[in-house]
Amino acid sequence: MILPPKPPARPDKVSLWRYVKLFRQDILSAQPAKLYRAWMAEFRTPFFRSFMVNDPTLVDLVLKERPDDFPKSSRVSEGLRPLLGESVFLTNGETWKRQRRIIDPAFEGGRLRDTFPAMWAASQACVARLEEGIIEIEEVTSHAAADVIFRTLFSIPIENEIAAEVFNEFRDYQRSQPIVNIAAFLPLPRWMPRFFRRRTRETAKSVRNLIARLTQARADEIAAGTAPDDLATKIMTTADPETGERFTPEEMVDQVAIFFLAGHETSASALAWTLYLLALYPEWQERLAQESAALNKCDFKVMSELKLSRDVFREALRLYPPVPMMVREAGCPHTFRGREVKTGSQIVLSPWHLHRHERIWARPDAFEPERWQTEEGRRCAREAYMPFSAGSRVCTGAGFAMVEGPLILSMLLKMFRFELVEGRVPQPVAHLTVRAKDGIWLKVSKR
């Protein structure tokens, strides 16, 4: 049985400078294989200590039991601040709590049902755009995921002039953006990551100006009583239940920027890997294609019938978690597995390693969507599965993504077949999300 691609591991012992070099290329292949078996690893640098924790009880401590002791690491946030400002992804403490109180209601179950027609329309548009031939599939899934965000948030398709411009500028941003996670591992003094390239700052500014036009227009429509009932309207009209305050149009720019970034990069990565896995395991592709017959009308209830599609998407999120690592900072001293964790230490949580942990999962590197229907699979899911993080800072869009992913997948498989292209084995690398080094190439043909 062939296994899905996994990045090569580095040798156990390398010099610091070799590590830095490897790290700059890709954080996944810069790690030694022993991290797939370790419960914890300590990285010592002259300026601070980092701990990668794979022990489920420590992961729970950091994310669920004492999240206030482990705020988001400012070392990592710096890289995204020019684009995301004070968005919910970067803030901590009271500011973050207030922001979540306003945002969370927009993503609750009932609202998800309301956004379904927009997701359906975006999935159909994706099918209509797709052409036969050998194509790079990440481009296709990025386009589709960006379309979903604009349609659900602002009721506009990606063809809209401003939407298209935001999408294009974002690509530039990613290209010019340094790998942010680097700052959590490497012995750089705290001021280092602040030196952004000029191009990065300029792109961030231009994306934010474009978004500001959308939020201002929406504020005007809300005032005039003509606003559509979508996520942007819901968020901009929700008052914080504790203070009664709403987001100002400026604050909304920060939040829209993160919805766009967190919502489209991640889903695009997950969908592209899922399609690759289905090309690698055509028997699963056929099963999903059969299941897709259920998609006959735009009705949220259809989601309960896309069970295989959901399990396959879950399995792809296990093998290729779009956010491979997350970083927190110890806000006070702790002891982890008998070791002293000083204030200011960087705590790295790694869905990438946890999801393939050899002491937790049976056949961790194998693609086995059927595992999700077993007792053993469910136990592992509780202990060691967190593609959307966990605890109070869990991804706000988790429910949204678990509808969008299986729906787009199923819609595509109803119409198309995806096959491997000889000589093109994608190698996973971590950019902002887990992507393939030279793209994911597939042969697409109509069914």
Question: Is residue 258 a contact residue for ligand HEM (CB under 6 A)?
Answer: yes
Answer yes or no: are the C-beta atoms of 72 and 92 closer than 8 Å.
yes
Count residues contacting ligand HEM (CB under 6 A)?
Answer: 22
Burial of 44 (0-12, 13-18, 19+ CB in 10 A): exposed
Q: Which residues contact 249 (CB under 8 A, 6 or more apart)?
A: 212, 215, 216, 219, 236
CB nearer to ligand HEM: pick between 123 and 417: 123
Query: Is 193 within 8 Å of 178 (Cβ atoms)?
Result: yes
Is residue 388 part of the contact set for ligand HEM (CB under 6 A)?
yes
| Residue 397 binding ligand HEM, by CB under 6 A | yes
DSSP state of 73: P
User: Any contact of residue 155 with ligand HEM (CB under 6 A)?
Assistant: no
Q: For ligand HEM, which is the closer residue by CB, 73 or 417?
A: 73
SS3 290: helix
Q: Is residue 100 close enough to count as binding ligand HEM by CB under 6 A?
A: yes
7 binds ligand HEM (CB under 6 A): no
> Is position 387 an interface residue for ligand HEM (rule: CB under 6 A)?
yes
Q: Could you say which of 262, 279, 403, 408 contacts ligand HEM (CB under 6 A)?
A: 262
Task: Compute the least distance from the CB of residue 293 to ligand HEM, in Å.
Answer: 25
Q: Which residues contact 360 (CB under 8 A, 6 or more apart)?
A: 56, 354, 380, 383, 384
Instruction: Note whether 266 binds ligand HEM by CB under 6 A.
Output: yes
Q: Are 369 and 311 in contact (CB under 8 A)?
A: yes
Choices 110-118, 165-173, 391-399, 417-425; region in contact with ligand HEM by CB under 6 A: 391-399
With CB under 6 A as the contact rule, which of the stretches 41-49, 167-175, 217-225, 254-262 interacts with ligand HEM? 254-262
Nearer to ligand HEM, 219 or 408 (CB): 408
395 binds ligand HEM (CB under 6 A): yes
Of 119-127, 191-199, 282-290, 394-402, the segment contacting ligand HEM by CB under 6 A is 394-402
Backbone torsion region of residue 85, taken as left when φ is above 0, otherwise alpha when ψ lies between -120 and 50, otherwise beta: left
Listed ranges 50-58, 173-181, 208-216, 388-396: which one lies at the site for ligand HEM (CB under 6 A): 388-396
Which residue from 52, 119, 214, 270 is in contact with ligand HEM, where contact means CB under 6 A?
A: 270
| Burial degree of 241 (CB within 10 A; 0-12, 13-18, 19+) | exposed
158 binds ligand HEM (CB under 6 A): no
The gap from C-alpha 36 to its chain's centroid, in whole angstroms, comes to 21
Half-sphere exposure in the Cβ direction for 9 (13 Å, CA): 12
Comparing CB distances to ligand HEM, the nearer of 196 and 259 is: 259
Task: Tell me: does residue 31 bind ligand HEM (CB under 6 A).
Answer: no
Beta strands in 275-391 (DSSP E): 326-329, 334-336, 339-341, 346-349
Q: In terms of CB distance, is 218 or 417 closer to ligand HEM?
A: 218
Please choose, out of 160-168, 320-328, 412-420, 421-429, the segment that lies near ligand HEM by the rule CB under 6 A. Answer: 320-328
Closest residue by Cα to residue 135 from 7, 6, 264, 276: 276
Q: How far apart are CA 115 and CA 109, in angstroms?
A: 10
- Examine residue 400 and tell whether it contacts ligand HEM (CB under 6 A): yes
- Which span sits near ligand HEM by CB under 6 A: 14-22, 176-184, 217-225, 386-394? 386-394
Taking the C-alpha atoms of residue 177 and residue 196, their distance in angstroms, rounded to an integer, is 8
- Cα–Cα nearest to 266, from 446, 431, 412: 431
Handedness of CA 32, 174, 87, 260 (dihedral sign): negative
119 binds ligand HEM (CB under 6 A): no
Q: Is 346 in the site for ligand HEM (CB under 6 A)?
A: no
Q: How far is residue 235's CA from residue 179's CA, in Å, rounded to a whole number?
A: 30
Q: Which range touches ligand HEM (CB under 6 A), out of 206-214, 262-270, 290-298, 336-344?
A: 262-270
* Residues from 193 through 252 that contact ligand HEM (CB under 6 A): none
Strands 334-336 and 416-420: unpaired
Q: Considering the rule CB under 6 A, would residue 323 count as an interface residue with ligand HEM? A: yes
Which residues bind to ligand HEM, rule: CB under 6 A?
Answer: 88-89, 100, 258-259, 262-263, 266-267, 270, 322-323, 326, 387-389, 393, 395-397, 400-401
